[in-house]
Amino acid sequence: MAKTNYSPLRWVKSSYSVNNGGSCIEWSPSHASATGIVPVRDSKRPSGPVLMVSTDAFAGLVSLARSANL
């Protein structure tokens, strides 16, 4: 698998993320709107792996997170 550099993307931290070092994810809405693919990563590991999901799958993940007792 080829390693791709996703650093140039404009990353946005999830509104559910907190500033106390908890579980934080980032996504790139500009890439999602341009391609229909949503890149998601761990904000604490910006050079780590990036999960690429469809916009429908991302909407499902958001819905699941909103309904969960986290």
Question: Which tens digit of pLDDT belongs to each residue from 19-65?
Answer: 655 668 899 999 999 999 999 999 888 889 999 999 999 999 889 88
Please tell me the pTM assigned to this model.
0.75
For residue 2, what pLDDT is reported?
46
- The number of beta carbons lying within 10 Å of the beta carbon of residue 26 is 19
For residue 23, what pLDDT is reported?
67
Report helix, strand or coil for 41. strand
| Cα–Cα distance, 66 to 60 (Å, whole number) | 10
H/E stretch holding 61: helix 55-67
For residue 14, what pLDDT is reported?
79
For residue 4, what pLDDT is reported?
61
pLDDT over 60 at 1, yes or no: no
